[in-house]
Amino acid sequence: MALAALPGERIAVGSIVAALKDRVYGLLVVLLGLPNCLPMPPPIPLVCGLVLAFVAVQMLAGRVMPWLPQALLARSIGKPVLTRAVDRAVPLLIRLERFSQPRLTMLGGAYAIPVLGLVILILALGLVVAAPFIGQIPLGLAVCLVGLGLVERDGILIIAGAIFGALGLALSAGFAYAIFSGIHGLFF
């Protein structure tokens, strides 16, 4: 992979972002969705949702590359750590590529990025208010599917993520309604 071939003992995050080029948004979306695919304590979905919303707003604005703070871009990762991470990720990506292939590529194209930014922003806001411990799981999976669809240029995965996200949002809305109704019934 191109990341492991970058020169130097340490590789700056900015260099990694530059090497990923047009797939950096997809990778960021997947990385921010993954922690929400398991039951997590309350601050994790909130933090991931807020950072994901920040990334989604940039997509919505049509930025080609995401803006990240200079302090983060200047940080570096040791080449052995990066190589180990790439070596672990490659078998998973190979398995994923068996199921995923470039389909309906216009859904991951440059003109679709702002629309996907809106979809991801809605999912991110859903993560922020998701029910603790398990409410974020459907939304986390939806975010990961959309992100993987972007990385793999697979419109079918993007559509599946959007549908799964709509179901997750409906589930969260039902949970919020149940809580509101319960509180309303206690006091009125």
Helix (H, G, I), strand (E, B) or coil at 113: helix
Among 57, 60, 49, 23, which Cα is nearest to 143's?
A: 49
- The gap from C-alpha 161 to its chain's centroid, in whole angstroms, comes to 11
19-78 per-position pLDDT tens digit: 777 778 888 888 888 888 888 787 888 888 888 999 999 989 988 778 877 877 777 777
76-88 per-position pLDDT tens digit: 777 776 677 667 6
**What pTM was computed for the model?**
0.77
Between 74 and 140, the more confident residue is 140
